[in-house]
Chain A
Amino acid sequence: MARRFDFKYYCSEGFHSIFTHGFMSFAAVCMIVACLLIMGSFSLVAVNLDHMLGDLEAENEFLAYVDESYTEEQAQALQSQIEAVPNVSQVTFVTRAEAMDDFRAGREDNELLESLPDSVLRDRFRIHVVDIEQLQATSEAVEEITGIAYVNAAYDIAQGFVMVRNIATGVAVVLVGILAVVSLFIIANTIKLATFYRREEIAIMKMCGATNAFIRWPFVVEGMILGLTGALVAFFVQWGVYELVAKAVIQSNGLSLLTILPFGSLALQFLLVFIVAGLLIGVVGSVLAIRKFLQV
């Protein structure tokens, strides 16, 4: 009799055993959903925090002052050179008159300033950077440009941001890692419990002369289906919970200090990650769990 890869048989066996062992399948799916939800929720918080920090960073700018001997036209001509510097995202030219207006704003009662000519201030560029971590290098590069007298960048603040962000990322990675390990452990045990009920069945198959592959494949199919189901359920629950939380935050957030990313912008990535994680957990869990029982 031919030995062949009986795809149809493996699929139908795997599919049927989900229902014949209904409760254990249900338990396994619940575990996968719970683990994915915990990790997903945490990742969503982390992504949002990161995004908010990013917003704050984008506010960070530095000033580059133009040499006093340059006329306004000459100064303005420097803009394209500054824009060409790597890591520069946005350049705004500010004339001395505008700078003086800004300076006077809020100091209207100060008579000393009335007579102050615009020429005490320099023409300047307000420069935003893409990556705040490279602020120093970027500002130095801008300073090199002929016609720029000096730059004024707040490295301390920039470094503070970078540190906060690095700490947040580190904490997030460590926590997600711990959660992933805990999840795998719980799921492996759930599946082990599920297959424990079937060790008899496996022993019978071995006695009939079934190869390990023949026994394993239906479990792999079953694990895949359970993992996929768990992933999809977790994804939709995550979506719903996220929308609810986002609504609540926005409502209670009069000052709009917090910005919440719309779920739609993250949905595809989350769906993919959930599906891959669910499949992986299901398949790896099944294979690990039955390994012991195959040694008959």
Chain B
Amino acid sequence: MIRFIDVYKEYDNGTKALKGINLRIDDGEFVFLVGPSGSGKSTIIKLITGEIALTQGKLMVNGYSMSNISPRQVPLMRRTLGIIFQDFRLIDKKTVYENLSFAMRAIGASPRDVKRRIPYVLQLVGLEKKADRYPGQLSGGEQQRVAIARALVNNPNMIIADEPTGNLDPSRSLEIMMLLERINDLGTTVLVVTHEKNLVNRFTKRVVAIQDGRIINDETGGYYNGAKI
């Protein structure tokens, strides 16, 4: 579960990125976070992942209070999240399998757990036959599915996808979204940051719209209404 309570964020250069965000995402939800570039979407993601600290307010992420989290606890907090990026961020010199096993070893999983878990996750994203390929040998859509598999491999409470379809063509994008929807159906909370209106409108999900550091619309079952932004 994520709770933003009156969160402000001002960067060192004086940019006021967030101006009083109140947001609650419950376990099991599927949420689109939408808004134009520079609206504060990335800041919200970075606050959740602990890359930056908030200036004012309170933020809870899966039971961790981000306003006074100790550096030692940040890795433990991150293990409750699976993060997916626009540029995939796979390690080019490791195979698909190694990219996943590496994420599992990073949190102290035993070789036995790794052997059991990875085939299951690869099958979930439909890449069971490409385990020995390197990222450079895969298409963009496949690479993003590897990234999703990596986010899932440690069984997190929540998946955070930051513009996951930004580098993909429309049909691949739809595939990725459907995969995320399926993951949500299996019980994982999913937060997708995007500015692709058409894609959002194909699903009937909760849409949180943000502009100029404020939430301007939050409709459950709604859609990305361009007119309102």
Query: How distant is the Cα of A20 from the Cα of B94 in the complex, in angstroms?
Result: 9
**Nearest B residue to A10 by beta-carbon distance?**
B105
Interface residues of B (CB under 8 A from A): 49, 51, 72, 75-79, 81, 83, 89-91, 93, 102-103, 105-110, 113, 150, 154
A1 touches B83 (CB 8 A): no
Interface residues of A (CB under 8 A from B): 1-4, 6, 9, 20, 200-201, 203-212, 214, 296
**Which of B51, B106, B110 interacts with A296 by CB under 8 Å?**
B51
Question: How many Cβ-Cβ contacts under 8 Å join chain A to chain B?
Answer: 55
A208 touches B108 (CB 8 A): no
- 20 example contacts (A-B, Cβ-Cβ < 8 A) are as follows A1-B109, A1-B110, A1-B113, A2-B108, A2-B110, A6-B105, A20-B93, A200-B89, A204-B90, A205-B102, A205-B106, A206-B78, A207-B49, A207-B89, A208-B102, A208-B107, A209-B76, A210-B75, A211-B72, A214-B108
What residues on B are CB-neighbors of A206 within 8 Å? 75, 78
**Nearest B residue to A4 by beta-carbon distance?**
B108
Query: How distant is the Cα of A205 from the Cα of B76 in the complex, in angstroms?
Result: 13
- State the 4 A-B residue pairs at the shortest beta-carbon distance, nearest first: A210-B106, A209-B79, A209-B78, A208-B103
What residues on B are CB-neighbors of A4 within 8 Å? 108
Given A200-B89, A204-B89 in contact, is the A209-B106 Cβ separation under 8 Å? yes
**Nearest B residue to A9 by beta-carbon distance?**
B105
B75 touches A211 (CB 8 A): yes
What residues on A are CB-neighbors of B75 within 8 Å? 206, 209-212
From A1, A203, A205, A212, name the one whose CB has the most chain B CB atoms within 10 angstroms: A1
Q: Nearest-CB distance from B17 to chain A (Å)?
A: 19
Query: How distant is the Cα of A203 from the Cα of B93 in the complex, in angstroms?
Result: 15
Query: How distant is the Cα of A247 from the Cα of B143 in the complex, in angstroms?
Result: 62
Query: How distant is the Cα of A58 from the Cα of B93 in the complex, in angstroms?
Result: 63
B91 touches A201 (CB 8 A): yes
Query: How distant is the Cα of A204 from the Cα of B81 in the complex, in angstroms?
Result: 13
**Nearest B residue to A19 by beta-carbon distance?**
B93
Given A200-B89, A204-B89 in contact, is the A209-B154 Cβ separation under 8 Å? yes
Query: How distant is the Cα of A201 from the Cα of B72 in the complex, in angstroms?
Result: 20
Given A206-B78, A207-B78, A208-B154 in contact, is the A1-B106 Cβ separation under 8 Å? no
Q: Nearest-CB distance from A50 to chain B (Å)?
A: 50
**Which of A204, A209, A296 interacts with B107 by CB under 8 Å?**
A209
Query: How distant is the Cα of A201 from the Cα of B94 in the complex, in angstroms?
Result: 11
What residues on A are CB-neighbors of B89 within 8 Å? 200, 203-204, 207
From A1, A204, A207, A214, name the one whose CB has the most chain B CB atoms within 10 angstroms: A207
Query: How distant is the Cα of A9 from the Cα of B106 in the complex, in angstroms?
Result: 10
Query: How distant is the Cα of A201 from the Cα of B75 in the complex, in angstroms?
Result: 16
What residues on B are CB-neighbors of A208 within 8 Å? 78-79, 102-103, 106-107, 150, 154
From B49, B75, B102, B103, name the one whose CB has the most chain A CB atoms within 10 angstroms: B75
Query: How distant is the Cα of A102 from the Cα of B26 in the complex, in angstroms?
Result: 109
Query: How distant is the Cα of A211 from the Cα of B107 in the complex, in angstroms?
Result: 8
Contacts A2-B110, A6-B108, A20-B93 known; 7 new A-B pairs at CB < 8 A: A2-B108, A4-B108, A200-B91, A208-B79, A208-B106, A208-B150, A209-B107
